[in-house]
Amino acid sequence: MNIGITYDLREEYLMQGYTEEETAEFDSPVTIDAIQSTLEKLGFTTDRVGSVYSLINQLVAGKKFHMVFNIAEGMYGIGREAQVPAILDAYRIPYTFSDPCVLALTLNKYMTKRVIRDMGIPTPDFTLVASAEDITSISLPYPLFCKPYSEGTGKGITASSLVQNNNQLIEVCRSLLSDFHQPVLVERYLPGREFTVGITGTGSDAVVIGIMEIFLLDSAESNAYTYSNKELYTERVRYARVNDNTALRAADIALAAWKGLGCNDAGRIDLRCDENGEPAFIEVNTLAGLHPHHSDLPIICGQNGITYRELIAMIMGSAIKRYHLEKMAPASLINEQYLTGSHA
């Protein structure tokens, strides 16, 4: 079974003049090497494809794949994460992770929270600031938290994202509107514990594989898991495997959100607790980072005795099962029951 690998390599964009923050969501050669070597150890053959532009060129030239392992984030547009899956759908090529509808929705944090709220899943009250004029109509109680509505990896989130009054709200929203050229999500700030929940599988086969609590050290930017804190996490952040009652409630909320949104194969959901200690949905990462040592999902796996090989096998098993390609699967996935859902 031949697997193409689509991705955006950070160093290629840096060489084109993009900044460290602009390329924060893109991958390192270490990640691509790890994915490719693990797929090959599982019995797949692989082809490195690269970005959406390389994918288009290769498909036009007649290149074929049995499936694509897609972690391409894209650079432009609110649908940037959906571009590769949409093209693959047009060519009827199966792929890992979520479909264009889910990826376009979940990149838009505002619309995602509207869907989550309509499903009855707890999430802090929120509004959208599309222009400076919108700020005057906000009636949410302080403190509030502000961030770009379609970024990941903490981009646009700093210690100043937490605002305590109207003057700070105006200043932060105007700055984000100017710097990121996109609307700002403003939501009620939740002061409690912060979790990220790892999930594998699709639909009724989806399971929580681990719950990780995020602790900011004294050296960290305060109040949030900011872009800077994520970049310097070894110095500023402590991660802990947790399974107390509050963490388990967070896991239940995360799994309900994952299934309700229609997410596929693997990812993470972030939650925070309110002033009463009740967890609430913050956002979902449907294309979670897969660096074998530094990304949150593999870290969660490591805390719960799941190897990187097992994580990639679970992702592939879920995708192969979704597309009913079990007869093409390598023996390793069949023998180790990654196509039945029982392994996870």
Quick one: pLDDT at residue 342? 53
pLDDT tens figures, 219-270: 888 777 877 787 788 899 999 999 999 999 999 999 999 999 999 999 999 9
Question: Residue 337: is its pLDDT beyond 80?
Answer: yes
* Assigned architecture for domain 2-98: 3-Layer(aba) Sandwich (3.40)
pLDDT band at 8 (very low <50, low <70, confident <90, very high): very high
Lowest-confidence region among 147-151, 247-251, 337-341: 337-341
Question: Residue 340: is its pLDDT beyond 80?
Answer: no
Quick one: pLDDT at residue 227? 73
Mean pLDDT of the chain: 94
What is the arithmetic mean of pLDDT over 191-219? 96
Q: Give CA–CA dist 19/137, Å, rounded.
A: 34
Residue 182: which residues within 8 A CB-CB, separation 6 or more?
A: 78, 148, 149, 150, 151
Quick one: pLDDT at residue 211? 98
Question: Residue 343: is its pLDDT beyond 80?
Answer: no
What is the arithmetic mean of pLDDT over 210-221? 92
Q: Supply the pTM of this predicted model.
A: 0.94
293 HSE (CA, 13 A, CB side): 5
Question: Residue 161: is its pLDDT beyond 70?
Answer: yes
Question: Residue 60: is its pLDDT beyond 70?
Answer: yes
CATH 3.30.1490.20 fits 125-188, yes or no: yes
pLDDT band at 317 (very low <50, low <70, confident <90, very high): very high
Quick one: pLDDT at residue 278? 98
What is the arithmetic mean of pLDDT over 25-53? 96
End-to-end CA distance of the chain: 23
Q: Give CA–CA dist 186/172, Å, rounded.
A: 10
Fold of 194-335: D-amino Acid Aminotransferase; Chain A, domain 1 (3.30.470)
Quick one: pLDDT at residue 62? 96
The CA R_g of the chain, rounded to the nearest whole Å, is 20
Do 187 and 144 contact (CB within 8 A), yes or no? Answer: yes
What is the arithmetic mean of pLDDT over 317-344? 88
pLDDT tens figures, 64-85: 999 999 999 999 888 999 999 9
Q: Tally Cβ neighbours within 10 Å of residue 131.
A: 11
Q: Domain limits of the chain?
A: 2-98, 125-188, 194-335
